[in-house]
Amino acid sequence: MSEVTRIPTDLRQGSQTAGGIGESKLRPDGTLKVTGEFAYSSDLWHEDMIWGHTLRSPHAHAEIVSVDTSAALAQAGVYAVLTYDDLPAEQKNYGLEIADTPALAAGRVRHHGEPVALVAADHPETARRAAAKIRVEWRELPLVTDEESALAPDAPVLHPGRTDGHARHVPHPNVVHRQPIVRGDAAAAALRADHIVTGEYEFGMQDQAFLGPESGLAVPAEDGGVDLYVATQWLHADRRQIAPVLGLPEDKVRMTLSGVGGAFGGREDLSMQIHACLLALRTGKPVKMVYDRFESFFGHVHRHPARIRYEHGVTADGRITHARCRIVLDGGAYASSTPAVVGNAASLSMGPYVVEDVEIEAVGLYTNNPPCGAMRGFGAVQACFAYEAQMDRLAAAVGMDPVAFRQLNAMSQGSRLPTGQQVDSPAPVAEILRRVQARPLPPERQWESAGGAADVRALPGGLSNTTHGEDVVRGVGYAVGIKNVGFSEGFDDFSTARVRLEAAGGEPVATVHTAAAEVGQGGVTVQAQIARTELGVAQVVIAPADTRVGSAGSTSASRQTYMTGGAVRNACAAVREQVLALGRRKLGTYHPAWATAELLLEGGKVVTDRGEVLADLADVLDGEPPVDVELPFRHRPTEPFDIETGQGFGHVQYSFAAHRAVVEVDTALGLVKVVELACAQDVGKALNPLSVVGQIQGGTTQGLGVAVMEEIVVDPATARVRNPSFTDYLIPTILDTPAIPVDVLELADPHAPYGLRGVGEASTLSATPAVLAAIRQATGLALTRTPVRPEHLTGT
């Protein structure tokens, strides 16, 4: 079988320039981060700055009967204590999609850890102690913790009087959003099935667990505005939410990105932004806020936990006849991005498979659990965990190899999603499965490699020395997933880039200015590579991301290389045209090719498409004002899903990844060692191959985490978080992280810049179900819940 694995993209301009796209350029922040010298937002400092602190609710649902701040205010060193009553503007709430989140609790808290009051003091410890002196009288309210309690006849309505865009179509006010998808005739198709396979699945609450806690510095300005330096994912969306609560026009809230220590969706929502600004404007002093790890677990949204039910039918020869599914996502106390997560879960619930007849329903709930929102994979992750478990059961029902079964039902270019949208670019689902299956398996019993005593590092339990090979069983599992790239459902998704080209010291220098948040993904590296390719220059300066340039959109949805990369390319092309026009004007008379040939910028020179040099770029630019262009860039438009049928051209692009997991399970202790997690992913075009592999390995590891250890445990009786620390919220160490060989396919998407596909998320989807499938194979257990705990594997 010889499949095409690379569709070359036309790259005339810049193909001769070093450091351009397609090269594995090292990131400028890499060494600084590894050596501890990188300045994160928690390292910000300002002359005369004071410290902000947040008082948070100990209860998940309670009425605030009274608040007494006098003792806190009386403490020496305290500059201000703010509560809801101190909010300066008519607008008290914010929110990414629905403005339902009070900047400070308004008479009622809806989740454990909700911000109630703010303190500014001359020292963080002083602020903390003062906050402890704030007396709040609480009256606890009945809890909403799951679908049953949310929809019960006497359920407390968490957000009475909703006026948001989903309020009219939801079946109950405690449902944030409901998206059905109906296509074909599932009931009729079910009659063709030889086997019906149903399953109920549960996905635990995962945390982004970024290493840099929420932090920033707000500096009051003389014009009554504020300058905010902060680690975020989307400066302009922050500003849109911050300014109205401060009572300021947007242009008086000036934002600059500071060092971001990871994001993974957890910085899409506001955390300390409004709070620091409120304190700065109240006290007239720069205010810094830094969460500690404990507070960070309450300071950002998590991945939606989900309960999922599937029914699939299959014919005896292995064709899926139909599917019904219901996905219930717990959005917690505030909406955050729950509506979009619901839309993703519903529209991608059939996975990368052809299923013509479907009945799908996804709902997002309001509860008193911690708010949930964006996290890498965004709704597609939960669905993939469940539909991939179904695929293994279906394959078993018809006696087929699980990979062959998937390949038989795999979508390909031209297939339709349940939304009716046609997949109009390569969809190499069968091929990526083939590639991970074709890899040689890692050797068995590697802990015995050198004879003699067992190498416990290669065994489940690792350094804890729990087995020397006893009861260790190997399992192999496969999974594949589909993730949308970019913002869907009719959202006006754009990015903006400003590119300036000028001569400096006899050299052409390009400056790229965007508001795109570098959160560790390598965006600044790729932007510089694009500018080198498009302008043929060696020196590219990436200006700090801030709100002096137009919005770049969010660093999420695997979209920044596509969107801001596209914007940089676009702006560079406009700059190139202006430079060539300038050259023709200044130097055109010296050579006829200025008028007749196709001209390129290569190696700091103007050249013809035949490689003849016409001029040094520096000479063209010398003595001229910089060529300076700012342009927005949009992907092709999408449309909302129909609210009853779910039909619509909802997504921009798809990203596909497949995994093969090899695990070894200590079946007596229920401990798991993931030995290898091989991945194959189509990336369209790898602008920076090293970064691409890094993204795929990172996403894979995050998927592994939620397979075997990562979960925020919420006590169902109190809706309180039980493990808000890295002592008890475990993420994989390097000893838990297996070899992750990556096979990168480059099948160009004709609609995307350079044919690229966003790479950041797809590997997060399939890693989890692949690990689960491997553990199921090793143990013979059904395992319908992730993460898997030792108790599940040992029946204890």
Q: In the complex, which residues of this chain contact another protein (CB under 8 A)?
A: 128, 292, 294, 450, 452-458, 460-468, 470, 668-671, 673, 708-709, 713, 722-723, 725, 727-728, 730, 732-733, 735-736, 789-791, 794, 796
Distance from C-alpha of 207 to C-alpha of 213, rounded to nearest angstrom: 13
| Collapsed DSSP state (helix, strand, coil) of residue 791 | helix
When the beta carbons of 191 and 739 are compared against another protein, the nearer one is 739
Nearest partner of 379 among 759, 768, 765, 784, judged by Cα: 765
When the beta carbons of 376 and 720 are compared against another protein, the nearer one is 720
First to last CA, the chain: 47
When the beta carbons of 8 and 452 are compared against another protein, the nearer one is 452
In whole angstroms, the minimum distance from the beta carbon of 715 to another protein comes to: 9
Between the alpha carbon of residue 155 and those of residues 210, 367, 727, 745, the distances in Å are 35, 10, 35, 50
When the beta carbons of 38 and 294 are compared against another protein, the nearer one is 294
In whole angstroms, the minimum distance from the beta carbon of 733 to another protein comes to: 5
Read off the DSSP letter of residue 424: -
Torsion angle of the four alpha carbons 524, 526, 530, 531, in this order, in degrees rounded to the nearest 10: 20
Helix axes 338-347, 380-398, angle to 10 degrees: 20
Tokens of 363: 């709902």
Q: How far is CA 100 from the centre of its chain?
A: 22
Q: How far is CA 255 from the centre of its chain?
A: 22
Q: Are 338 and 305 in contact (CB under 8 A)?
A: no
Helix axes 402-409, 429-438, angle to 10 degrees: 160
When the beta carbons of 498 and 720 are compared against another protein, the nearer one is 720
When the beta carbons of 404 and 709 are compared against another protein, the nearer one is 709
In whole angstroms, the minimum distance from the beta carbon of 670 to another protein comes to: 7
Can you give 592-645 as a three-state secondary structure string? CHHHHCCEEEECCEEEECCCCEEEEHHHHHCCCCCEEEEEEEECCCCCCCCCCC
When the beta carbons of 357 and 711 are compared against another protein, the nearer one is 711
In whole angstroms, the minimum distance from the beta carbon of 725 to another protein comes to: 7
In whole angstroms, the minimum distance from the beta carbon of 734 to another protein comes to: 8
In whole angstroms, the minimum distance from the beta carbon of 442 to another protein comes to: 16
| Collapsed DSSP state (helix, strand, coil) of residue 234 | strand
Q: How far is CA 629 from the centre of its chain?
A: 30
When the beta carbons of 453 and 717 are compared against another protein, the nearer one is 453
Q: Are 685 and 753 in contact (CB under 8 A)?
A: no
How many beta carbons lie within 10 A of that of residue 138, not counting itself?
15
Size (the chain), residues: 796
In whole angstroms, the minimum distance from the beta carbon of 795 to another protein comes to: 9
Distance from C-alpha of 290 to C-alpha of 277, rounded to nearest angstrom: 13
User: What is the per-residue DSSP string for 137-167?
Assistant: EEEE-----SHHHHHSTTPPPSSTT--STTT
In whole angstroms, the minimum distance from the beta carbon of 739 to another protein comes to: 14
Tokens of 490: 């009719």
When the beta carbons of 599 and 740 are compared against another protein, the nearer one is 740
In whole angstroms, the minimum distance from the beta carbon of 456 to another protein comes to: 5
Between the alpha carbon of residue 26 and those of residues 137, 378, 462, 538, the distances in Å are 55, 29, 33, 15
Give the angle subtended at the CA of 624 by the CAs of 623 and 628, to the nearest 5°: 145
Tokens of 474: 């190997």
When the beta carbons of 202 and 502 are compared against another protein, the nearer one is 202
When the beta carbons of 444 and 455 are compared against another protein, the nearer one is 455
303: part of which helix (H) or strand (E)? strand 302-303
Q: Are 369 and 333 in contact (CB under 8 A)?
A: yes
Read off the DSSP letter of residue 321: E
In whole angstroms, the minimum distance from the beta carbon of 132 to another protein comes to: 9
When the beta carbons of 32 and 463 are compared against another protein, the nearer one is 463
Q: How far is CA 541 from the centre of its chain?
A: 27
Q: Are 679 and 700 in contact (CB under 8 A)?
A: yes
When the beta carbons of 596 and 727 are compared against another protein, the nearer one is 727
In whole angstroms, the minimum distance from the beta carbon of 701 to another protein comes to: 13
In whole angstroms, the minimum distance from the beta carbon of 59 to another protein comes to: 19
CB neighbour class for 146 (10 Å; exposed up to 12, middle 13-18, buried from 19): middle
Distance from C-alpha of 96 to C-alpha of 100, rounded to nearest angstrom: 9
Tokens of 796: 């204890």
When the beta carbons of 160 and 451 are compared against another protein, the nearer one is 451
In whole angstroms, the minimum distance from the beta carbon of 332 to another protein comes to: 19
Largest CA distance in the chain: 86
When the beta carbons of 359 and 710 are compared against another protein, the nearer one is 710
In whole angstroms, the minimum distance from the beta carbon of 175 to another protein comes to: 30
In whole angstroms, the minimum distance from the beta carbon of 698 to another protein comes to: 18
How many beta carbons lie within 10 A of that of residue 443, not counting itself?
9
| Collapsed DSSP state (helix, strand, coil) of residue 495 | strand
In whole angstroms, the minimum distance from the beta carbon of 745 to another protein comes to: 32
In whole angstroms, the minimum distance from the beta carbon of 796 to another protein comes to: 4
Token look-up 């000036």 returns 254
When the beta carbons of 218 and 712 are compared against another protein, the nearer one is 712
User: What is the per-residue DSSP string for 554-588?
Assistant: -S-TT-HHHHHHHHHHHHHHHHHHHHHHHHHHHHG
In whole angstroms, the minimum distance from the beta carbon of 259 to another protein comes to: 22
When the beta carbons of 64 and 456 are compared against another protein, the nearer one is 456
Nearest partner of 425 among 697, 680, 636, 639, judged by Cα: 636
When the beta carbons of 122 and 292 are compared against another protein, the nearer one is 292
| Collapsed DSSP state (helix, strand, coil) of residue 295 | helix
